[in-house]
Amino acid sequence: MTLNIQEISELLPHRYPFLLVDRVLELIPGKYCKAVKNVTINEPFFPGHFPDMPTMPGVLLLESLAQTGAVILLSLQDPDGPRPAIYLAGADRVRFRKPVTPGDVLVNEVTLLWHRKGFGRIDCKATVEGEVVAEAEIAYALSARPR
């Protein structure tokens, strides 16, 4: 299963400038997702991070991975029912291997490790041109959305 930006926007609550998934290349609901983030010089963080050496902040690499993981879980929800909020609850084994710069195509691969009673963990890897740029194990929590 693949998803375009409109379908991703129906699943995720994030919007520009914080939606960090542009396309889903592969999706196995409840198990696995491979998604793309096209990194452009127009990103709002580049003027300040860093003016002479634009580099995508590591925290946003983690957020892009977390949003890819959220697609796995939210794709299981009834499209007509209420959607739970999904929160990043922690990150372990985080490693940033190479900088991500304008023009890069960030490819996120995320696998669900386990999910029980609204909590779980995902295994995450981000690559650019086949080289690992970041990896992490992320914990998340699902909760009813506040009104």
Cβ pair 104, 126 in contact under 8 A: no
Domain boundary assignment for the chain: 5-143
What's 140's DSSP letter? E
Cα–Cα distance, 47 to 81 (Å, whole number)? 40
Query: Domain 5-143 class?
Result: alpha beta
User: 95-131 burial string, b = 16+ CB within 10 Å, else e?
Assistant: ebeeebeeebebbbbbbbeebeeeebbbbbbbbbeee
pTM over 0.85: yes
Query: Within 13 A of 56's CA, how many CA atoms are on the CB side?
Result: 31
User: What pLDDT shows up at residue 146?
Assistant: 59
Q: Indicate the pLDDT class of residue 46, thresholds 50, 70 and 90.
A: very high
Catalytic residues: 49
User: What pLDDT shows up at residue 64?
Assistant: 98
Cα–Cα distance, 33 to 112 (Å, whole number)? 9
Percent of the chain exceeding pLDDT 90 equals 90
Lowest-confidence segment of 32-36, 38-42, 79-83 by average pLDDT: 79-83
Mean pLDDT over the full length of the chain:
95
* Helix, strand, coil distribution of the chain in percent, nearest 5: 15, 40, 40
Q: Indicate the pLDDT class of residue 65, thresholds 50, 70 and 90.
A: very high
| Cis peptide bond upstream of 119, omega within 30 | no
pLDDT 10s digits, 72-126: 999 998 888 888 999 999 999 999 999 999 999 999 999 999 999 999 999 999 9
State yes or no: pLDDT of 147 exceeds 60. Answer: no
Cα–Cα distance, 25 to 43 (Å, whole number)? 22
